Amino acid sequence: MEHWIAWAILGLAAGAIARAIVPGEERGGWIPTMILGIIGAFVGGWIAERIGFLPPSDPGTWLPGPKSILSATVGAIIVLSIWKWLRR
């Protein structure tokens, strides 16, 4: 249960930061923002692990660290930018 809560909190934080950084107006409340952040966390985490920035996850810890938050935010920015580009 803690992992789901951690993913939700990480997703909400990353999505909110990404929406603040990427220009433009987006409709939607906190649920779309959380979904954006969770998808961004997957994308950013995958990229960060591949380039060696983020070590493989430790199943014993559930609280995201600073590198996880940064990776999730970068991933959310990438996902939001692609979404806006596709919607044009």
- State the pLDDT at residue 57: 65
- State the pLDDT at residue 78: 93
- State the pLDDT at residue 75: 92
Phi-psi region of 24 (alpha: psi -120 to 50; beta: other; left: phi over 0): left
Q: Convert the pLDDT of each residue in 45-70 to its tens digit.
A: 889 888 988 776 665 566 677 888 89
- In contact, 44 and 9? CB cutoff 8 Å: no
Average pLDDT, the chain: 82
This prediction has a pTM of 0.82
Residues of the chain with pLDDT below 70 are 1-2, 56-63
> DSSP string spanning 39-70?
HHHHHHHHHHHHHTSSPPPPTT--S--HHHHH
- Rounded Cα gap, residues 3 and 67, in angstroms: 17
- State the pLDDT at residue 83: 86
